[in-house]
Chain A
Amino acid sequence: MSLPIAPKPALRRFHQARWDEPVIFELTTPGERGVLVSRPEPGVREAVGDVVADLPAGMRREKPAALPEMGQMRVLRHYLRLSQENLGADFNIDVGQGTCTMKYAPKVNETLISTPKLTELHPLQDQGDVQGILEIMWSLERAVAEISGMHSVSLHTSGGSTAIWTNIAMIRAYHEANGEGEQRDEVITTIFSHPSNAATAKAAGYKVITLYPDADGYPDAEALRAVIGPRTAAIMITNPEDTGIFNPRVKEWVDLAHSVGALASYDQANANGILGITRARDAGFDVCHFNLHKTFGTPHGCGGPGSGANAVSEALAPFLPGPVIVRDGDRFALDSDRPQSIGKVAPFYGVAPNLVRAYAWIMALGAEGIKAVAETAVLNNNYLMKKILEIPGASAPYATGRRRIEQVRYSWQELFEETGISSEEIGIRASDFGMHYWTSHHPYVVPQPFTLEPTESYSMAELDEYAAVLAEVAREARETPEVVRTAPHNQTVHHTHHDDLDDPERWAITWRAYQRKYFS
């Protein structure tokens, strides 16, 4: 064949990297070294003697740790190959992890944080030496306060769920301070709020009451009225919920909570569709949190570190984790004198690199840009919804005909009934086209669910491509179901067997356990 090159087919002919790389322990070569360590100077040795030989009885490790022995470049190559076998958000149209806001994490922010003036900063240095980072953190707190309408902000937590824990820990301390700690032993949440609202409340000692939506998919105010009362410590809810449906009666919910002396906690982990549109405090919420690794563009790091920003009303401010940053003229300081604080929620002041990234994200956009983020994310979502609902077998339960905010919880139930192909199988097959796809949080109230959240980051053409892939997989489910059932075909590894993972006799959580169970 000669030029011209034929046009590309409609769908991408993707194949994931496949290095067939062994587990690292199999790469060991005795005697090789990956890095050398600074050794005690002769003067030190002379002064202290043989510190290892002098260890107290039983304190000297008998056998060296069975770590691999590898030259430096082999370690590098091994891990770079593994990285290629991983589909980062930079590589795919990452709209398939709904509720998680997989938006662009701007590259410029990586260059900003890489300075030794951040990487080599110790949290207990002279505060005069850390004015730059304190100013950034203080400014970020103020921006989050403005975006939420709240009074005060803490940036200490390193993930969304630990930020939710911090919400309930502050609520618990608030009621205790008012002498109602014993009386208020219940927390109310909804099934389409993130599972960690229920789980953290339980871990804090509360009985959890979970409400289901009304027939239209809206949070059920009558159901709330039936359970709320003097035992309620808080309502802990997401809005819009995981369905992408905004609760139009949210103010009524908050007022109801306040009418019985309870607090209202708002999970704003994903606030991407409502930035600059509506604010937590304006609806009366007492506490909320944002995930900077979702809404504010910091990278997800394979599952953390993230960053949580807890924002509270003036009444709750004394309970924030300490220390807090205070500004005095153009000087910034850490204030630990906070008698009602719940104490520490993290070793120091938060995930500094993420705080700088989030600050830079806000400063790259400004008020107009941040509102444009929300409006674009919502436009993208409603556009994608139209595309998805054109696929036979896909549906968007609840609130039929209504617009959605930033995401939609869809269902393949019709397709499943027709073909027996599940949402999970569709997701695995979609990966063969270079796409990530997630079903949804459990329980599957929406049958055969999938949740798509296109954020503001992907172009119309990319959204079209994502929808085309799902349409193709749905077609395959009808016409060539074996192709879907035996997927993946274009991945690093093939269909994986999960039976061993739930059997304590057979599971292998580390290489040494695997060796012991199967080879000794």
Chain B
Amino acid sequence: MTQPFVHPYLPNTAPDVKAAMLAAVGAASTDEFYADIPEGLRLDRPLDLPAPFVAEQDLVRHVDGLLGRNVSTRERLSFLGAGTYNHYVPAVVDEVINRSEFLTAYAGEPYEDHGRFQALFQYQSLMAELLNMDVVNVPTYDGFQATATSLSMAGRMSGRRGVIVASDVLPDKFSRVHDFVRTNLDLTVVPTVNGTADVAAVAALATEQTAAIWVETPSYSGAVETAIRQLADAAHAVGAVLVVGTDPVGYGVLTPPADQGADIVCGDIQSLGLHQWFGGAHAGFIAVHDDPRFVMEMPSRLFGLATTDVPGEVGFGDVAYDRTSFAHREDGKEWVGTAAALWGIAAGVYLALMGPQGMADLGETLLARTRYAQLQLSAIPGVALTDTALHLREFVVDFSAASVTAHAVVDTLRAQGIEPGVAVGEYELLVAVTEMTGQGDIDRLADAVASVVAASDTADTSTSNTEEKSA
């Protein structure tokens, strides 16, 4: 005789319990509960799904088997970036966000979920110190969304449609931002010069119709924008705002954009204590000054300090909740919903562990190893850097003088267990260097690239190398 279906995730499938519950509500079967669903809409067959692994050990074996076919960046030497970066994640970060209390919580009040409110308030506050800004949101989905929303905020504040794109933007990010804002904003791209903004051209385009100038730093090509101040001045001269999309990982050592006149600073926090997760661990921040004109345009939750009935107790609550779609549906600012809170808690733990010295050290390590990689690669005949801008962590090398395509380099090096970077053009390769790639790793990359180039019969070693000392 077949056993009744009883599943560990479904306590009330126990036959006696189920019978008692049905009896309590006066139903002969669960079918009665679906009386409002017309017969014609009822699925009259079982779902066509693979046979399950109802025993936990069988499920583990199955899923482990599938994931076991992956070969991770731990088993390869990886210089991949282009939006997801291989930074070190301290063990304490994982310990905290894997706590069941945080992992499985959702939307409790500031009482039973005091810890969530404090952890996220602290995330906001720690990010604010790194960025030198007074307001940071509870994270939105990712840096793409954060940037799209930041530009939309500028549009709503000014009633204008114009956005001048002053930097090279990751194409996928541009795609996302464009589809999000296109009803309300027009994006005008100004080509960059030597990897960074053409300030004169941007300033010349700025008019009374300009809502924002949008800068990315580091840009798609990894170039750090050094003319934020001038771009901010150009925006402010026409009553527009400067929106800076960035990765906060460098601000232990680099001047934060707010110090140079940025009005809205936004981006992704994956670099701050989140694993790569196959590109599945992104969260977006939006930072502004403590000015209600800006704050009231933010769609996300903002957690703020509050007093309680007991002196000395630190309480929390939602700041300006009336901004949100939770309060006013389509009359709120864009919308708010489940986004990326746990990743925000992780980034907060990360910044608390790193402290001011850790972030300064990290910034220096990134600058130094990146510069080293630039020197090693550009020393190879036929391999050139595409610009002389300052680079924090990522840069583009050009193999055109060697007549070797970027895809050929990638294919050849992959066979040696090296992911040399992301092909971003026929001859261009985007190379990311982090604290995870040491001198020996960079030397191995350079040796492998040199072998590929040397093996190319058509290499034109007479082409001059554009490498110069930057700054």
Contact = CB atoms under 8 A, between A and B. Distances in A.
Interface string A129-142: 11111011001000
- Residue among A66, A274, A366, A386 with max Cβ neighbours from chain B (10 Å): A366
B276 A123 contact: yes
Interface in A57-80: 58-62, 64-70, 72, 75-76, 78-80
A241 B310 CA distance: 41
Given A60-B253, A118-B277, A278-B37, A305 B342 contact: yes
The 8 closest A-B pairs by CB, nearest first: A348-B279, A366-B52, A123-B279, A161-B337, A86-B115, A205-B183, A34-B353, A301-B342
B114 A346 contact: no
A248 B229 CA distance: 61
Given A61-B251, A122-B73, A277-B42, A360 B63 contact: yes
A162 B352 contact: no
A500 B337 contact: no
B364 to A, nearest CB: 5
A196 B337 contact: yes
A9 interface: no
Contact of A159 (B17, B74, B103, B339): B339
A204 B152 CA distance: 11
B353 A72 contact: yes
A69 B304 contact: no
Contacts of A117: 67-68, 70-72
B324 to A, nearest CB: 9
A64 B357 contact: yes
A200 interface: yes
Q: For this complex, into which size category does the number of interface residues on chain A fall?
A: 35 or more
B284 to A, nearest CB: 10
Given A39-B365, A65-B251, A122-B86, A160 B337 contact: yes
Interface stretch (B238-246, B313-321, B397-405, B459-467): B313-321
B200 interface: no
Nearest to B42: A278
A230 B365 CA distance: 60
Nearest to A506: B304
Interface string A415-458: 00000000000011001001010100111000000000000111
A456 B112 CA distance: 23
B352 A34 contact: yes
B434 to A, nearest CB: 9
Given A35-B90, A44-B369, 18 more contacts: A25-B125, A45-B368, A52-B367, A56-B471, A59-B255, A60-B254, A88-B104, A116-B74, A128-B71, A200-B335, A305-B281, A352-B280, A403-B34, A460-B11, A491-B111, A493-B313, A510-B134, A512-B129
A102 B104 CA distance: 9
A129 B70 contact: yes
Contacts of B332: 195, 199
A236 to B, nearest CB: 11
Given A199-B334, A283-B41, A64 B356 contact: yes
Contacts of A245: 36
A295 interface: no
A500 B173 CA distance: 37
Contacts of B116: 86, 302-303
Contacts of B251: 61, 65
Interface stretch (B141-149, B160-168, B450-458): B141-149
A497 B308 contact: yes
Interface string B87-123: 0101010011111111111111111111110111110
A493 B310 contact: yes
B134 A86 contact: no
Nearest to B342: A301
B302 A441 contact: no
B25 A54 contact: no
A94 B348 CA distance: 27
B468 interface: no
B380 interface: no
A338 to B, nearest CB: 12
B20 A509 contact: no
In this complex, which of A64, A124, A208, A363 has the most chain B Cβ atoms within 10 angstroms of its Cβ? A124
A412 interface: no
A100 B13 CA distance: 22
B67 A119 contact: no
Contact of B368 (A33, A48, A304, A363): A48
Interface stretch (A106-114, A309-317, A474-482): A106-114
B108 A125 contact: no
A340 interface: no
B218 interface: no
B161 to A, nearest CB: 12
Given A40-B364, A44-B369, A493 B305 contact: no
A124 B330 contact: no
A177 to B, nearest CB: 14
Interface stretch (A221-229, A255-263, A368-376): A368-376
Contacts of B339: 158-159, 162, 303-306
Interface in A372-408: 372-373, 375-376, 378-383, 385-386, 402-405
B107 A162 contact: no
B63 to A, nearest CB: 5
B232 to A, nearest CB: 12
Contacts of A34: 90, 92, 352-355, 358
Interface string B33-45: 1111110111100
B1 interface: no
B59 A376 contact: no
B134 A372 contact: no
B62 interface: yes
Interface string A74-99: 01101111111111111110100100
A159 B183 CA distance: 22
Contacts of B128: 510-513
Contacts of B422: 124
B119 A379 contact: no
B28 interface: no
20 contacts: A40-B372, A59-B255, A82-B118, A91-B101, A120-B74, A135-B66, A159-B340, A196-B325, A205-B184, A277-B34, A279-B43, A301-B97, A302-B105, A305-B141, A305-B283, A372-B7, A457-B10, A496-B110, A501-B304, A509-B319
Contacts of B309: 486, 494-495, 497
A248 B315 contact: no
Contacts of A385: 25
Nearest to B6: A372
B135 interface: yes
